[in-house]
Amino acid sequence: MKIEALLSEKHIYLNLDSGSKDAVIDRLVAMVAGHEKVRDIKQLAEDVRKREREMSTGIGKNIGLPHAKTTAVTAPVMALVTLGSEVDFDSIDNQPVKIVFLLATPETMLAEHLKLLGRITRIAGKDDVRKKLIEAATPAAVLALFREEEKDLPQI
């Protein structure tokens, strides 16, 4: 399981104009509403918001990573947006975000959930990768970037 394999062009939105953290999360959840692995979109939204209330998922370096372990999905589901203008995400480094990933995994996949969070953080945490994500002109370019970054990494 690689990031590139979990994402698809229809689950990537570039240069989203959104004024708030809640609006960004709403958009990400809406993007996966028709996903074949999402069985309950309302539960997914509730679980992502619950996790966000526990602690902000603004992980630093201009990245937001709202996520949940949830019964609302049957397998890992991911979406990604880049933002046209920065949004305050209550990040640990107090910096606004420009890139936001949504990750939802079944409750029974804790190890995979943690590994995917770690992989997203490691790859997107690289300055050059963040720059390329923000400058990406198409969802296909985003997928190609992750394919290149993960080519020598093992499956999760």
- Domain range list for the chain: 3-150
Query: In this predicted structure, what is the pLDDT of residue 154?
Result: 84
Instruction: Compute the distance between CA of residue 116 and CA of residue 114 in angstroms, rounded to an integer.
Output: 5
Q: List Cβ neighbours of 86 (8 Å cut-off, separation of 6 or more).
A: 62, 96, 97, 98
Cβ neighbours of 1 (radius 10 Å): 15
Print pLDDT tens along the chain (156 aa). 899 999 999 999 999 998 899 999 999 999 999 999 999 999 999 999 999 999 999 999 999 999 999 999 999 999 999 999 999 999 999 999 999 999 999 999 999 999 999 999 999 999 999 999 999 999 999 999 999 999 988 888
73 three-state secondary structure: strand
Instruction: Compute the distance between CA of residue 13 and CA of residue 31 in angstroms, rounded to an integer.
Output: 9
* 58-60 vs 12-16, strand pairing mode: unpaired
Query: In this predicted structure, what is the pLDDT of residue 35?
Result: 96
Q: Are the C-beta atoms of 71 and 44 separated by less than 8 Å?
A: no
Fold of 3-150: Mannitol-specific EII; Chain A (3.40.930)
Q: What are the angstrom distances between the C-alpha of 51 and each of 41, 66, 91, 133, 139?
A: 15, 8, 14, 25, 27
Helices (H), 13-138: 21-31, 41-54, 110-124, 127-135
What is the length of the chain? 156
Nearest to 62 by CA among 80, 81, 84, 89: 89
Instruction: Compute the distance between CA of residue 116 and CA of residue 118 in angstroms, rounded to an integer.
Output: 5
pLDDT tens-digit readout, 105-148: 999 999 999 999 999 999 999 999 999 999 999 999 999 999 99
